[in-house]
Amino acid sequence: MSGFLFFFKKNSKEGGKMVGKKSFFSSHWLSRLDEYTLPPHMLFGFDSIAKAGGVAKKISKNEDVIVVTDKALMNIGLVDDLLLSLKESGFKVDIYAPDAIEPTIDQVHKVIEEASKKDYGLVIGIGGGSSLDRAKMAACFGGSQEKIEDYLAPSTKPIESSKPKMLIPTTSGTGSEVSNTAVVIVPEKYVGTAKTWITGDPVLAESAIIDPSLMMKLPPTVTANTGFDALSHCAEGVISKQANPFSDALALEGIRLTTKNLRAAYHEVENPEARWNMALAAALGGMVISFGWVAGPATLGHAASEGISPKYNIPHGAACAVLLPYVYWFNLPNDYTQRKLSLIADAMGVDTCKMSTRKAAEAAIEATFNLMEDLDISTDLKSYGMKKEDIPIISQYILERSEKMYSMSAYNPKRASLENLENFFEVAYEGRERVEQLLSKRNWK
């Protein structure tokens, strides 16, 4: 795998001294070293799945392959071309296809058990993010004596090795096919379940095959939710305090692609250009969230979504969507956020030339609300069944969890407190009109 080193003058936990060299930064510039390993191989394009067998021959250790997918995709024949390509290339293929559910810790144990039955030379994941994450964990722990629980965040124990893996997405959202992280759902006493994960370079796929034809019949609601997941990865990456020009370049292009194509993908289900561009946007988002300096993203949007998604049974992408404009609003008083939101507004097609930075930032909020409404996504939390009396305990949960799991204060522009998180959820509960009222009053402290 090819490594990537990037040096950028910005805030770092290491402080302002360069080891072994004389620091030439003034007191308000700090040294920083960022490192990231990209997937070594990507194949992108219509009908690229037909080449899976040939790619597999290059990366598999032997002729035994396990395909991790779900029952629904098997039933509609979406896995058939992959299986045909593998068999034509001489592979012996086993299939693990449970119901299409989240990768709970019990499900993860089952897929690891399946992957341990043979000395598989390759693990292939095909499906949505849940199937791809299961495949990653099967590859990392199949046949191993290690326990996955020892590696789940907030543990920092490094994953040392993995079987080769190929990841093939059938949705345009998580970007799991190119990310270095796999999500696990575990029990949680306050909201029912919570996300944790494994991460590290060994989690990356040896090959990602991204075929937009597999996404052509994605239902409109799933298209909207997964599309906003991709948008949130990119947008939260932009406003992260640790963002840099490298991550911004990918993230802003992902925002442009999503804004220009998600409406068409939603309203014209089999629009090939829209599907192509949404598949690309999701992959860009998956790369962005894998950057250690962007961290996940570790900003308020994804952190807060983990409080409301399991409690109210809101799909992850929908939870990210309904929170995103309020995350912008929450962070808006920060000058840094205003500058970054102005870039987001421009990427969303807003003509910001004659706007102040503040007005352009506010335009990003408006454009995001407009996109949600065009996709029939509710713009307030009460529409998802949230109760006002739940806000204090959810806010407390998010405040504690965001630091334990994400170190959110190092990434979110505005520091969260119990008081301002409760205000954040109260405004999101009321909806768009409440934000617009607050913006019109310029009621900032």
130 pLDDT tier (thresholds 50, 70, 90): very high
Q: Give 131: exposed, middle or buried? Use CB within 10 Å, 0-12, 13-18, 19+.
A: buried
Q: Which domain-ending residue is among 160, 187, 215? A: 215
Q: How far apart are CA 67 and CA 304, in angstroms?
A: 33
Contact 243, 293 (CB under 8 A): yes
Task: List the CATH number of the domain containing 435.
Answer: 1.20.1090.10
Assess whether pLDDT exceeds 60 at residue 347: yes
Domain containing 12: what range? Answer: 1-37
Using alpha carbons only, give the angle 10, 12, 18 rounded to the nearest 5 degrees: 85
Whether residues 283 and 380 fall in one domain: yes
Whether residues 161 and 33 fall in one domain: no
pLDDT, tens digit (0-9, with 9 covering 90-100), for 53-95? 999 999 999 999 999 999 999 999 999 999 999 999 999 999 9
Q: Reduce the DSSP state of residue 372 to 3 states and report it.
A: helix
Contact 399, 418 (CB under 8 A): yes
Assess whether pLDDT exceeds 60 at residue 30: no
Instruction: Give yes or no for a cis peptide into 212 (omega within 30° of 0).
Output: no
Whether residues 241 and 388 fall in one domain: yes
Residues 6+ apart with CB under 8 A from 133: 103, 125, 176, 182, 183, 184
Contact 35, 4 (CB under 8 A): yes
Q: Specify the pTM.
A: 0.90
Whether residues 340 and 313 fall in one domain: yes
pLDDT above 70 covers a percentage of the chain that reads: 90
Average pLDDT over residues 313-332: 96
Average pLDDT over residues 141-169: 95
Q: Report the pLDDT value the prediction gives residue 191, as an integer from 0 to 100.
A: 82
pLDDT, tens digit (0-9, with 9 covering 90-100), for 253-267? 999 999 999 999 999
Q: How far apart are CA 167 and CA 127, in angstroms?
A: 9
**The total number of structural domains that make up the chain:** 3
Contact 1, 204 (CB under 8 A): yes
Whether residues 348 and 278 fall in one domain: yes
Q: How far apart are CA 320 and CA 428, in angstroms?
A: 12
Assess whether pLDDT exceeds 70 at residue 17: no
Q: Which domain-ending residue is among 195, 215, 235? A: 215
Task: List the CATH number of the domain containing 181.
Answer: 3.40.50.1970
pLDDT, tens digit (0-9, with 9 covering 90-100), for 191-210? 888 889 999 999 999 999 99
Whether residues 186 and 280 fall in one domain: no
442 pLDDT tier (thresholds 50, 70, 90): low
- Higher per-residue pLDDT: 4 or 237: 237
Q: Report the pLDDT value the prediction gives residue 22, as an integer from 0 to 100.
A: 41
33 pLDDT tier (thresholds 50, 70, 90): low
pLDDT, tens digit (0-9, with 9 covering 90-100), for 276-312? 999 999 999 999 998 876 766 779 999 999 889 988 9
DSSP 8-state symbol, 162? -
Whether residues 237 and 162 fall in one domain: no
Q: How far apart are CA 379 and CA 436, in angstroms?
A: 12
Whether residues 65 and 204 fall in one domain: yes
Residues in a beta bridge with 207:
166
Whether residues 75 and 118 fall in one domain: yes
pLDDT above 90 covers a percentage of the chain that reads: 81
How high is the mean pLDDT of the chain?
90
Assess whether pLDDT exceeds 50 at residue 243: yes
23 pLDDT tier (thresholds 50, 70, 90): very low
Whether residues 50 and 33 fall in one domain: no
Using alpha carbons only, give the angle 133, 425, 395 rounded to the nearest 5 degrees: 70
Q: Report the pLDDT value the prediction gives residue 31, as an integer from 0 to 100.
A: 59
Whether residues 209 and 224 fall in one domain: no
Whether residues 64 and 211 fall in one domain: yes
Measured in whole angstroms, the distance separating CA 285 from the mean position of its chain's CA atoms is 6
